[in-house]
Amino acid sequence: MPPRRASPKAVKRPSVHFSIDVPDLVRGLDFYGAVFGFLETARPFPTMAILDAGNLTVCMHERAEGTTSSPGSNDTRRYRRHWTPVHLDVHVPDFDKVLAGIRAGGGLVEREFRTEGPRPVAFCSDPFGNGFCVLGEAAR
C-alpha cells in the first residue's frame, strides 16, 4: 500500500509535544539532560519543565505515584517498570556512549539488537520505569 500523503489543501498540522511523568522533577531533568542532552527552556510552574530535545519539545511533569490522570480513570501512575505502545525512540550518533549514560544515570538497558536490523537498537527504561528505545546510526 502506498504511503498516505497530505492533500495540497490540508489544514496546517499541529505542533506535537511529548510528555513524560516522573515522581521527582529534578531527578528526571538530571537523567534526560545527562543522557540525551535535553535542555530545560521553561518552568511554567514548579512541577513542570519544558525541555528542548532537538526536534521535539518534551513536557516533564512531576506527578506522585498512585495519582490518576483524570477523574474518570481507574488507572493510576506507577513508577515500576512498564511499557507502553506510545514511547520515545531516540536516535543517537554514539550508541555505546548513550547506553553507558543510561546505566550510569540509574536507567536500564534491557535488550540490545546490534546486528538484527539496519541499525543497532536497545530497549531501555529511565530510573522511573518509563520505557523508550535508543537507535544508533545505520551500519555503513
Mean pLDDT for back-to-back runs of 10 residues, the chain (140 residues): 68 87 97 97 97 94 89 85 84 96 97 91 96 89
Measured CA angle at 9 (ends 6, 12), to 5 deg: 75
Predicted confidence at residue 6, as pLDDT, reads 65
Cα radius of gyration rounded to whole Å, the chain: 17
Domain ranges of the chain: 17-65+81-135
Show Cβ contacts of residue 96 under 8 Å, excluding neighbours closer than 6 positions. Answer: none
Predicted confidence at residue 77, as pLDDT, reads 85
In terms of phi and psi (left: phi > 0; alpha: psi -120 to 50; beta: otherwise), the region of 54 is left
Read off the pTM: 0.86
Going by the DSSP 8-state scheme, the letter that residue 32 receives in this structure is H
**DSSP per residue over 9-24, as a string?**
TPPPPPP-EEEEEES-
Predicted confidence at residue 48, as pLDDT, reads 97
For domain 17-65+81-135, which CATH number applies: 3.10.180.10, 2.60.40.420, 3.20.20.70, 3.20.20.100? 3.10.180.10
**CA gap 16, 38 in Å, rounded:** 16
- Tally the residues of the chain: 140
Q: Which three cell numbers stand for residue 59?
A: 513536557
Predicted confidence at residue 13, as pLDDT, reads 81
Predicted confidence at residue 83, as pLDDT, reads 73
